[in-house]
Structure 1
């Protein structure tokens, strides 16, 4: 049995804004955000193309969503510092 791996990620949109989300299949989710596959967030639809800046694995959905919420609360400079490493 394969245990699904959750990923927390930050995208840079074409307008320079940042988008944070979670996914189990990061490649598919990125294709959704870029309009190659049906789905994706309403926020990114008008801000394509998007590029993956940063991602981090999480043990389960709950921990991924907690990490996502924590990142969303960060000011932009701190998000950029996280991306920079």
Structure 2
């Protein structure tokens, strides 16, 4: 006999904020609920690849962090996208903490 969990018992999907470095050294920031799938889409130049990333492979994921909701991930993404490339590199190296730029965790 199998039992199914009710909605309150089901684990809600996690959302990820990520930063990719392109072969031309530019940075791309995005969010997803499936980090591995999204990276593979970007890397493969598939139709689901972000237009900005087309032709900029290979990509390197230099940063990612997890959020409990899409809303929180979107708020963090907006703030990260406003950072300079140097600040994003500091974030990726651990010298800048996401909580210092976003009240989202």
TM-score scaled by structure 2?
A: 0.76
Give the conservation status (yes or no) of the 8 Å contact 1:11–1:18.
Answer: yes
Q: Which protein is bigger by CA-based radius of gyration?
A: 2
* Structure 1 or 2: more strand by fraction: 1
Displaced runs of 4 or more, over 2 A: none
1:65 and 2:104 aligned? no
Higher relative contact order (CA 8 A, sep 6+): 1
* Equivalent residue in structure 1 for 2:65, among 41, 56, 78: 56
1:28 and 2:37 aligned? yes
User: Cα distance, 1:36 vs. partner?
Assistant: 6.5
In the alignment of these two chains, the number of paired residues is 85
TM-score scaled by structure 1?
A: 0.93
Give the conservation status (yes or no) of the 8 Å contact 1:35–1:45.
Answer: no
What RMSD over aligned residues (CA atoms) do the two structures have, in Å? 1.2
Unmatched segments (≥5 aa) in structure 1:
none
Unmatched segments (≥5 aa) in structure 2:
1-9, 95-105
1:9 and 2:18 aligned? yes
User: Cα distance, 1:80 vs. partner?
Assistant: 0.6
Q: Distance in 2 between matches of 1:37 and 1:29?
A: 10
Give the conservation status (yes or no) of the 8 Å contact 1:7–1:22.
Answer: yes
